[in-house]
Amino acid sequence: MSELKKSLGTLDIIALAFGAMVGWGWVVLAGGWILSAGTWGAMLAFLIGGLAVILIGVTYAELAASMPITGGEHTYTHRALGVNVSFICSWSILFGYFSVVAFEAVALPTVVEYFIPNYNQGYLWTIAGWDVYATWVGVGMLGSVIVTWLNIRGMEVSAWFQKTAVLGILFVGTLLFIGAVMFNPEGSNSVQAPAFIGGIGGMMAVIVMVPFMFVGFDVIPQAAEEIDLTRPNIGKFLILSIVVAVMWYVGIAWSVGTTLPLLQAENSTLATADAMTNAWHGKWAGILLVIGGVLGILSSWNAFLIGGSRLLYAMSKARMLPAFLSKLHPKYKTPSNAILLIGGLATLAPLFGRKMLVWIVDAGGFGIVIAYTCVAISFLVLRYREPDMVRPFRIPAGKLVGIVTIALSFGILMLYMPGMPSALTPIEWWIFFGWTVLGIALYGYARVKYPGISESIMAEELRELKIVNQLWLKDNPPKQ
C-alpha cells in the first residue's frame, strides 16, 4: 500500500502537466519561430510536432492507467525490460527533471531585469563569459527556497500553487489572443509577418524545437499514487493536457505573427511581450505578459520538482539509490529528503551563471528523450508479451501506435547527434557523460550493498499491482 497521500484531482493534474510544458520559452522564443517559418508555418510546425508528442503521450497514458505507481517510467520499463533498463531510463529522465529545476532558478533572476533594469549589483565572478552578480544569485536562491518549501508542505499546497500559476498564464495568453484578434495596425497589413517563410526548411527549423517545448506531461505518471481519479481518467487527462498545450503554442504563434513586425522580431529579446505591447498599444500589456512568463517559470519549476522528487523516492524505495531518499515527512507525507536534495542543488545553480545551465538543460533534454524511447519500447513489448494485461485506458491499434512512437522517439534522439541543427555541443556531451558515470557509480554501489533487493522489491510491487488490477477488473468488467 502507498504511504503517499491521494490529493490530486482533475484540475490538479491538468495544471501540473500544462504548467510543466508551458514554462518561459514561449515568451522569448516565439519571435524566432515566426522568423524561421512565418506565422502559418510556425502554427503548422506546432500542429505536426504536437501530433508526435501526443502519440508519445498516449503510450504513457495507457501505462499510467495500468500501473498507477509513483515513479512512472521506473515501473513500466522494469516490467517490460528488467531492472537494468529501468535504472537507465529513470536516471536519464531524472537528469532532465533536475536540469529544468536548476534552469528555472536561473531564469527567474534573468526575468527580473525586465522589471528592474541594471539591478545586478555585487559582481562575484565570470563563468563561460557570463558575469555573476550577488543580487542576481540572491533572487534565484530565494525563489528556489520558496518553491522547495511549498513542495515539502504537501501536494495540496503544491497543487494549489500550480493551479493559481496556470490560471494566471491562461489569463495573460487569452488577453494576448484577444488583442491579436482586434489588432489593427492603423489600416496597414505590412506589419504582419508572411504566412510562410523558408518553406519546408523553415518549418523544420521550428519542428526540431517542438518536442522540447512539450517536455513535462510525464510528471503525471511520477505522481500517480497521489492522483485521486478513476484509472481510465488518469490516461484521458494526461492526453488532454498535451492537447491543451498544443492549442496554446499554436495560439501564441498566431498572436505573435499577427502583431509583431519582422524587423521588431529580429531585434526583440522578449518577442511575445513586445507583441502584447503592440496588440494593446501600451507598455503595461508587455509587463503583464512578462508577469505571465514568471508564472510559467514557477509552474514549470514546481511541476518538475514534484516529478523529480517522486522519481528519486521510487528509485530509493527500490534500493537503486541510497535509502534515505525514500523517507517521507512525518506530517506532510511528502518525500522530503528527495525534495530537499533536488531543491538544494537547484538553489546552488545561480552561482554558476546562465551559460553553464543552458548546457545542462540541453544535455538533460537528451536524457528525457532516452526515457521516452525506453517507454515506447516497453509499451510495445508489453502489448506483445502481456496482451491480457489489465489496461483501464486501452489505446486502439496499440501495436501500430507503439511501432510509430518508437520510430518517432528514435527520430527525436537523432536531432541531438552531431551534424543536426540541434546537436549537442562537445561540452554538453561531457556533461551528459559525467551524469552517466555518476549514475553507474551509484547504481554499482547499490547493487553491491543491496544484492538482488531491487529485483525482489519491484517484483513484489508488481505482484501487488496485479492483485489490485484484478480487483479493478472485477469491479469494472469489460463491455461486451
Q: Find where cell 492522483 sits.
A: 227
- Tally the C-alpha atoms within 13 A of residue 81's C-alpha that lie toward its C-beta: 22
Alpha helices in 128-154 (DSSP H): 134-152
Q: Find where cell 508551458 sits.
A: 22
**Measured distance CA(334)–CA(327) in Å, rounded:** 8
| pLDDT the model gives residue 29 | 82
| pLDDT the model gives residue 468 | 79
Q: Is 125 helix (H, G, I), strand (E, B) or coil?
A: strand
Q: Which residues pair with 127 in a beta bridge?
A: 130
Q: Is 133 helix (H, G, I), strand (E, B) or coil?
A: strand
Task: Return the H-helix or E-strand segment holding 124.
Answer: strand 123-127
| pLDDT the model gives residue 186 | 60
CA-nearest of 100, 85, 121, 3 to 381 is: 85
| pLDDT the model gives residue 340 | 92
Backbone φ, ψ for residue 7 (5° rounding): -145, 10
Instruction: Measure CA of the first residue to CA of the last residue in the chain; give whole Å.
Output: 32
pLDDT in tens, the chain (480 residues): 445 566 677 788 888 888 888 877 788 788 888 988 889 999 999 998 888 889 888 999 899 888 888 778 888 998 899 889 999 999 998 998 888 888 888 888 878 877 787 888 888 898 888 888 999 899 999 999 988 988 888 777 778 888 888 999 999 999 999 999 887 666 444 557 777 888 888 888 788 777 767 888 888 877 767 777 777 888 888 888 899 999 999 999 999 988 888 777 788 778 888 899 988 988 899 999 999 988 888 888 888 888 888 888 888 888 888 888 888 888 878 888 999 998 988 898 888 887 777 788 788 888 888 998 999 999 999 999 988 888 888 888 889 999 999 998 888 888 788 887 677 889 889 989 999 999 999 888 888 888 888 888 888 888 888 887 787 777 777 665
Q: Would you call 118 exposed, middle or buried from its count of C-beta atoms within 10 A (0-12, 13-18, 19+)?
A: exposed
* Amino acid present at 282: G
Q: Would you call 365 exposed, middle or buried from its count of C-beta atoms within 10 A (0-12, 13-18, 19+)?
A: buried
Cell numbers of 359, please? 548546457
All residues at 6 or more sequence positions from 417 whose CB lies less than 8 Å from its CB, including other chains = 423
CA-nearest of 382, 404, 62, 29 to 209 is: 29
Neighbours of 399 (CB within 10 A): 13
Task: Return the H-helix or E-strand segment holding 60.
Answer: helix 39-66
All residues at 6 or more sequence positions from 99 whose CB lies less than 8 Å from its CB, including other chains = 357, 360, 361, 363, 364, 365, 367
Burial annotation 261-280 (CB, 10 A radius, 16+ → b, else e): bbebbeebebbbbbbbbbbb
Q: The whole model's pTM is what?
A: 0.85
All residues at 6 or more sequence positions from 249 whose CB lies less than 8 Å from its CB, including other chains = 26, 46, 50, 210, 213
Cell numbers of 104, please? 528555472
State the DSSP code for 260: S
Cell numbers of 297, please? 517559470
